[in-house]
Structure 1
């Protein structure tokens, strides 16, 4: 038994854990795995799961197109999932002492499984390590609290707060609007503290019962884990308070969408110095190249920021989301905002990812774009002064179909993320879109049923 496994066993026993949820993330961000009694978990040499679960769509369908059979072992062998001792999260809502442990996935030869989103992020982080760099990220998660409903045909509605009323009008940054759900957020913060999630501020966004929680800046892999656990925590907490939560990118017609803004910078791995700032506090060439990389490669990685057909509803005209890869200082109309900050905190905020994105993949994509900019020394466009909405030379694909075509054509992504991952991800997203096209929408029934 290795020392890390021994430390893991000791820690679990000290905390009196009786049950383990062994978890891996699939491409859509759904948690999959097994629930195991503590003794069985400790006796086994890793959890085994069919690699095919990583090619499941959000509807639970397995990609079966013969063009993609080569992505999986023909014999259907299991992948080996090993617990990460740094990714243990207690589940305060469980009836008995339970921990969820995020696992890494390997094939039978011990190689990381390319289709695993967590391995994709680790692969990108390895590029930085090889250069003596360390990315630092700080995510911001937006979401809606909603009324509970069992009928997906009904529009989503705002829930009633402690006053007994639903919100009306715009309540951006309203403290009283947040106070309507104090009991819920007391549980959320308490549970997140038990789980060692680095939550920072909570604010009310522009939509009805739309909230944003910010995370402390830190290690990219750890933050991706934390977002995964946070989503689960929010769903558990809201169920206790007779409301629901959604991380859909655009859940309500004519209301603001929900984003996962990712602040990012790069440190020297040895000294910890922020490489985005010169000694005089100005933006470094490395920083400008990082922005240039985001501008050049974001159109090809957009499906990792906007993974669903609903994601692109957030990018419709006259919405709050920036539909561009322009950049500017303290400018919220650009996709790449450079907040006003001290030299030590010099960073860029990628405002394009939706709240529905898989956090491992969204962070990996953003960091890869910046990395490519630095090694290719890509110069950015001129920064935007004023509104960026009228500038269209750096616009993005406006549908998931167009975005997947651009991703498929990009040889650089296949080189750095792996051919198998890029092909598998595109296959899953196309299957999901095919399933979506099979559904007849209320709009079609309303305007076409008796008119055409």
Structure 2
């Protein structure tokens, strides 16, 4: 019988050729295992590990996974009635914990530097009848990239990612710590912080930096710099620009790689925005983005005349980002914790404004006439964001600006004082803004927006049932 790939014609000719090369690499490198992984609704990698002989055939046959994986919130609890009629979804194929099929994208093949004789493949999600899963976030970004392609343009993005690495003191693997979610590990600092970009602090943590550098470069990720951030045990990595799906693919692999490598060596890495650590500083994910002409490769944001910050196309794209800023917040910052970073003058933007090389603005414009690096930096993201949704929100918003020739208005040189629409201050408010944006709901798919909001409201409901330390401290003795 024909394979899943052949029956439903899910590969391009380039992918088919790449699959042949993957099989050659498995044999030539003596690989014994291959991990097949897909990015779930949270941008977390899930999948199965196959022995090499099975992996070669699974390239075309696909690997079956249970649909309940798509029904889980961040505690890994299933928040849809999967055994009820329809399984809680408005399309077929999800009821009863049925299977979907993940099919490898052979162009994403890597050999994992830290794992013994192990390859890795990023996969796309398909329903059993060959339809792309409507819940696939990678496919949502693919649609945005294809829509941009009709304009003769390509999406270019560079990553600037902050995170924390701690020494792992206690993994908390006792029976009493096995909840859902489990008890967080006990950790201690690698650096006390508040010595931003000092060489001495970098040298103090050189062993960790070297561990990350060798493994990330071993994966072929376009690493540019490793930096000491402001907070205790806080770090930053920056990556060179890549095109289309590649920046999002790099981000999911980066997060997974950093956590795995650190854990193997007695460290705990977290991309949580604001851990509950004394004197902590919030971590952000600043997304640098531009467009380039497919015909020439030239940056489409470079202005032609002195005194201009961006080309007309760049200004319209910027206008689209501002128009949909509040709605896209839920995709750029999708956790309750992410909104803890909004503090006065904290370098976390609080309103939808842009500024010329101003780190207090949500959208920071860099470059100018003759500068091939002209771009827009969005500073609203947190490093937990599903990269496919974050990037798709930017592309769809920017496309609306291009197509309707939206004007972003003047630069906000005092971004915390300029009158402008306030960004959402809670995840609930951000979800309300997303639901209210008819354009983004249409582009992302109303079905998908409803699905994502259902999961996120389940997380909010669990949070609201907990009695916080603040409440206990505030009221227990007083009343």
* Fold conserved between structures, TM > 0.5: yes
Deviations 1:149-184 (A, max 9, x none): 546878986524xxxxx425x111112112111112
Between the aligned partners of 1:333 and 1:158, the Cα distance in structure 2 is: 31
**Superposition deviation, residue 336 in structure 1:** 0.2
SS at match of 1:20: strand
Q: Indicate the residue corresponding to 2:242 in structure 1.
A: 218
Provide the aligned length of Structure 1 versus Structure 2: 444
Between the aligned partners of 1:154 and 1:33, the Cα distance in structure 2 is: 23
Query: TM-score if structure 2 supplies the norm length?
Result: 0.87
SS at match of 2:381: coil
Q: Indicate the residue corresponding to 1:163 in structure 2.
A: none
**Which deviates more from structure 2 when the two are superposed, residues 83-92 or residues 278-287?**
278-287
1:24 to 38, 47, 65: 38
Between the aligned partners of 2:240 and 2:56, the Cα distance in structure 1 is: 33
2:394 to 366, 379, 391: 366
Q: Indicate the residue corresponding to 1:90 in structure 2.
A: 111
SS at match of 2:36: strand
Q: Indicate the residue corresponding to 2:274 in structure 1.
A: 250
Q: Output aligned runs, 1:434-449, within 5 Å.
A: 434-449=461-476
Q: 8 Å contact 1:25–1:32 — kept in the other structure?
A: yes
Between the aligned partners of 1:154 and 1:292, the Cα distance in structure 2 is: 42
Deviations 1:234-288 (A, max 9, x none): 1123224432111111114653211111100001111111111233464211111
Q: Indicate the residue corresponding to 2:408 in structure 1.
A: 380
1:403 to 430, 433, 439: 430
Q: Of the two structures, which has the highest relative contact order with CA contacts closer than 8 Å and spacing of 6 or more?
A: 1
Deviations 1:129-163 (A, max 9, x none): 12111010001010112242546878986524xxx
Query: TM-score if structure 1 supplies the norm length?
Result: 0.92
SS at match of 1:272: coil
Deviations 1:39-72 (A, max 9, x none): 1122230111123312311101122268943255
Cα distance 1:435–1:71, how it changes in 2: closer, same or farther (>3 A)?
Answer: farther
Between the aligned partners of 2:431 and 2:360, the Cα distance in structure 1 is: 25
**Which deviates more from structure 2 when the two are superposed, residues 351-360 or residues 434-443?**
434-443
**Superposition deviation, residue 78 in structure 1:** 2.1
**Superposition deviation, residue 310 in structure 1:** 0.1
Alignment pair present for 1:146 and 2:162:
no
Between the aligned partners of 1:345 and 1:333, the Cα distance in structure 2 is: 20
**Which deviates more from structure 2 when the two are superposed, residues 151-160 or residues 44-53?**
151-160
Q: Indicate the residue corresponding to 2:195 in structure 1.
A: 171
Runs of 4+ off more than 4 Å: 65-68, 149-158
5+ residue gaps, structure 1, are 161-165
Between the aligned partners of 1:68 and 1:365, the Cα distance in structure 2 is: 26
SS at match of 1:364: helix
Between the aligned partners of 2:94 and 2:354, the Cα distance in structure 1 is: 46
Q: Indicate the residue corresponding to 2:336 in structure 1.
A: 309
Between the aligned partners of 1:237 and 1:244, the Cα distance in structure 2 is: 9
5+ residue gaps, structure 2, are 1-5, 7-15, 173-181
Between the aligned partners of 2:239 and 2:108, the Cα distance in structure 1 is: 17
Cα distance 1:434–1:216, how it changes in 2: closer, same or farther (>3 A)?
Answer: same
Q: Indicate the residue corresponding to 1:49 in structure 2.
A: 65
**Superposition deviation, residue 316 in structure 1:** 3.1
Between the aligned partners of 1:56 and 1:63, the Cα distance in structure 2 is: 6
Between the aligned partners of 2:186 and 2:334, the Cα distance in structure 1 is: 21
